[in-house]
Structure 1
Amino acid sequence: MLSSCQESLEDKAVRQAKEYTERYCPTPVVNYSRTDSIVFDQNRHVYIYYLSFCGMLDDQKVVDENRDRITDMLTQSVRESTGLRNFIEAGFKFEYVCHSEKEPKKVLFRIVI
């Protein structure tokens, strides 16, 4: 318990990302996407969310046509998350790397917020 009081924000981010991934990932599909894992890059101060786009969103043309909408939704999600507030205030960034469910090595969308 004492160590958590002295835990740096970076160490907390690493721990929380690892715990979330182990506990919840892959998440159920919601709005044609699922979270496969989350990691925190301490050198860059970036939370990296690895997602898979599924169903109708698993199509490069559909993603390209909706790029602005996807960007707005992810940006709003980060800004409105009370759980991320301390990290946002510390200047951390949030990267989303969205892969195809059908072709897991194919990146359909990537953004850093």
Structure 2
Amino acid sequence: MEDRCARESKEYTKKNCPVKIDNNTTLDSLTFERETHTLHYYYKLTGFADQDGVLEKVDAVTVLKNELKNTTTLRVYKENKYRFAYTYRSEKDPSKIMLEVVFTDKDY
């Protein structure tokens, strides 16, 4: 399972990233952290979303959690109790993390 996850995340990043999710969000990469069984999504925020407080205002953590609960494409990973991490960085200041959250099987 771990080898599959590592391979699929690497292939997805190579084939698809960066991919624009919406006008203000780009998925830069997807990685698999084998030691913690974590699929880690790295995003870049631009425009309006690249401001302090915007993600809190739209309750991004709850939105992400609900999307994770409802998605079927990650079913096999959820069944194996994998973790899902999301990191959002500022385009204006790439060293600035706008949001970082990790969900475990207790969250979904």
TM-score in terms of structure 1 length: 0.84
Structure that is richer in helix per residue = 1
Q: CA deviation at 1:95?
A: 0.3
| Mapped partners of 1:29, 1:75: distance in 2 | 17
Quote the RMSD (CA, aligned, Å). Answer: 1.3
* 1:60 and 2:56 matched: no
Aligned residues: 103
| 3-state secondary structure, aligned to 1:104 | coil
| Mapped partners of 1:59, 1:29: distance in 2 | 18
Identity %: 31
- Structure 1 partner of 2:106: none
What letter matches 1:35 in structure 2? L
Among residues 22, 34, 45, which one is paired with 2:37 in the alignment?
A: 45
* 1:86 and 2:76 matched: yes
Matches of residues 71-110 of structure 1 in structure 2 within 5 Å?
Answer: 71-110=61-100
| Mapped partners of 1:23, 1:50: distance in 2 | 15
In our comparison, the structure showing a higher alpha carbon Rg is 1
Native 8 Å contact 1:29 1:54 kept in 2:
no
Which runs of at least 4 in structure 1 moved beyond 4 Å after TM superposition? none
Mark the runs of 5 or more structure 1 residues left unpaired by the alignment.
1-8
Structure that is richer in strand per residue = 2
Mark the runs of 5 or more structure 2 residues left unpaired by the alignment.
104-108
